[in-house]
Amino acid sequence: MLSQDHPLIQTWRKHIHALAEDIGPRGSTTEAEKRAAEYCAQYLAQHNLNPATESFTSARSIFTPHLYASIVLLLAFALYPLFGRVSAGIAAGLSLLALISDLLELSFISNPLRWVVPKGPSQNVIAILPPAGEHHQDLILIGHLDSQKSPLVFSTKRWVDIYKAFTTIAFVAFALQTILYIVGTFTQWEWIWPVTILSAIAALLLAAMCIQANASPFSHGANDNASSAGLLLTLAEDFQSSPLQHTRLWLLCSGCEEVQHYGAIDFFQRHRGELKAPKALVFEMLGCAGPAWLSKEGIIVPFHADQTLIALVEKLAQEHPEWKAHPTQINGGNTEMADALRVGIPAITFIGANEAGDLPYWHMVEDTVDKMDLEVMARAYAMTRSFMQALDKQAIGDVSRKEA
């Protein structure tokens, strides 16, 4: 395993410092996010990797769609009792619109909320490393450039736990309001509207949470996620000098992950047809804890990592106890693993979670370079490199079995 003083680990840390401190907070669609993309592109170009920068349009905030949904739900609550079945029907329609749109938003699917939120320009930086031998498969490595706001609900572990519980409770309340208003349109039962005071309270709390989040400052994003973008650049230099034998590497420094993955979605829409037997490896927050791998993630809508990739990393972790690697899950969040899975690409995320499943400095103002743990980073790098090499060796076996 590499030591924390190894040149590759030191190079990785320098990239984190350049992104999180020299550039600083990198909000989605901001000028700072653009400078981060330019930094990555320049570094890859210096190493003759011919990077491409691909522009797209993205929402500016992950919280604004949910703010709009809560406002529509509150409007439905206010309208329901006013004009009998007419207002009840309108309220039912508005509630259903908000509920379905919010569910689609959590599933990364276009919906009316996405149509109306403020948007801005962003970009992905992409480079490709060909294999040394015959090309059998593609491996997409993904690390996002942007950093998130630092809202109250992410300020402490207790607040994060409250946030995770509240999202589930609120969704159930909104679904109940929708069902009751549909029933009430036909029955006009008087007890229905008072019962939905609970969902109105949930909508008010959601709106307040979103307003506070949008008003909070952007994090420096050293761990989340300069650590991953920096890892991509370090791997590019490493595997350029010692390429995989049969695996073509796609390096994706993605924009706007923090606003529901607009960058990753744009990448797969553009390049899905170019990929050969693809797999995706996503990096998240690997500077302070872990390494771990995600078996499951999601907010209401679950996404499960590919079982074959899980089996491979489990085997490697058993063979290398010095990595201290372990499985984990995210409830109340998503990584870009979900975007690969949605287009039929086997995917897994390597993430910096501790044994309790906590993610250090997740969306916090304290997420700065001084929190990086070089010993953790060395273990994460060793696991990542071994996983990529093992996946490359599997490609030879897969082709041999097909030929037989």
How would residue 404 be classed by pLDDT, with cut points 50, 70 and 90? very low
Q: For residue 235, which of 221, 222, 250, 256 has the smallest C-alpha distance?
A: 250
Half-sphere exposure of 65 (CA within 13 A, CB side): 27
- CA–CA dist 110, 121 (Å, integer): 18
pLDDT for the residue 399: 54
* DSSP letter string, 254-318: ES-GGGT-HHHHHHHHHHGGG-SS-EEEEEE--SSS--EEEEEEEESEEEE--HHHHHHHHHHHH
CB 151 within 8 A of CB 62: no
Over residues 379-401, mean pLDDT: 87
Task: Convert the pLDDT of each residue in 204-260 to its tens digit.
Answer: 999 999 999 999 999 999 999 999 999 999 999 999 999 999 999 999 999 999 999
Residues 141 and 186 both lie in one domain: no
**Residue with the larger pLDDT of the pair 40 and 402:** 40
Which amino acid is residue 87, in one-letter code?
S
Instruction: Verify that 28 and 161 share a domain, yes or no.
Output: no
- To which residue do tokens 């489990």 refer? 314
What span, in angstroms and rounded, lies between the C-alpha atoms of 282 and 277? 17
The residue from 193, 215, 237 where one domain ends is 215
Asked if residue 365 and residue 317 are part of one domain, the reply reads yes
Summary mean pLDDT of the chain? 96
- Structure confidence at residue 142 (pLDDT): 98
Mean pLDDT across 151-179 = 95
- Domain with 234 in it: what CATH number? 3.40.630.10
SS3 of residue 92 by DSSP: helix
pLDDT band for 390, please (50, 70, 90 cuts).
very high
> Do 137 and 164 sit in the same domain of this protein?
no
Among 114, 118, 117, 115, smallest CA distance to 106 is for: 114
Q: Which residues contact 267 (CB under 8 A, 6 or more apart)?
A: 54, 124, 126, 140, 252, 254
In a domain, 222, yes or no: yes
- Cβ–Cβ < 8 Å for 176, 243: no
Q: What is the mean pLDDT of residues 95-121?
A: 96
Q: Are residues 37 and 140 in the same domain?
A: yes
- Identify the DSSP state of 344: T
Rounded to 5°, the CA angle 379-382-387 comes to: 125
Q: Quickly state the pLDDT bin for 352 (edges 50, 70, 90).
A: very high
At residue 397, the pLDDT reads 65
Average pLDDT estimate for 328-347: 96
**pLDDT at position 313, please?**
98
- pLDDT of the residue at 46: 96
Domain count, the chain: 2
Q: Is 132 left (phi over 0), alpha (psi -120 to 50) or beta?
A: alpha
User: Which token pair is 181?
Assistant: 């208003």
CA distances to 12, 155, 288, 339 from 372, rounded to whole Å, are 11, 19, 5, 28
Last residue of a domain, one of 184, 199, 215: 215
Q: Reduced to 3 states, what is the DSSP secondary structure of residue 155?
A: coil
Q: Is the dihedral of CA 381, 382, 385, 391 positive or negative?
A: negative
Strands (E), 89-136: 119-129
- Which helix (H) or strand (E) segment holds residue 280: the answer is strand 279-284
User: For residue 402, what pLDDT is reported?
Assistant: 55
pLDDT above 80 (res 401): no
Q: Say if residues 76 and 94 touch (Cβ distance below 8 Å).
A: yes
Q: For residues 57-76, give the mean pLDDT.
A: 98
Structural domain range at position 345: 7-56+121-150+218-399
Q: Is 156 helix (H, G, I), strand (E, B) or coil?
A: coil
Q: Is a pLDDT exceeding 80 seen at residue 191?
A: yes
| Co-location of 358 and 375 in the same domain | yes
- pLDDT(400) > 80: no
- Per-residue confidence at 396, pLDDT binned at 50, 70, 90? confident
Residue 182 lies in a domain: yes
Buried b / exposed e over 273-288, threshold 16 CB at 10 Å, is eebebbbbbbbbbbbb
How many angstroms separate the CA atoms of 290 and 35, rounded? Answer: 29
pTM here is: 0.94
Among candidate residues 215, 236, 255, the one where a domain is terminated = 215
pLDDT tens readout for residues 284-331: 999 999 999 999 999 888 999 999 999 999 999 999 999 999 999 998
Domain membership of residue 226 (yes or no) is yes
pLDDT band at 4 (very low <50, low <70, confident <90, very high): confident
Are 174 and 271 part of one and the same domain?
A: no
Residues 257 and 350 in one domain: yes
Mean pLDDT of the 323-351 span: 96
With H, G, I as helix, E, B as strand and everything else as coil, classify residue 252.
strand
For 102, list phi and psi in degrees, rounded to 5: -65, -40
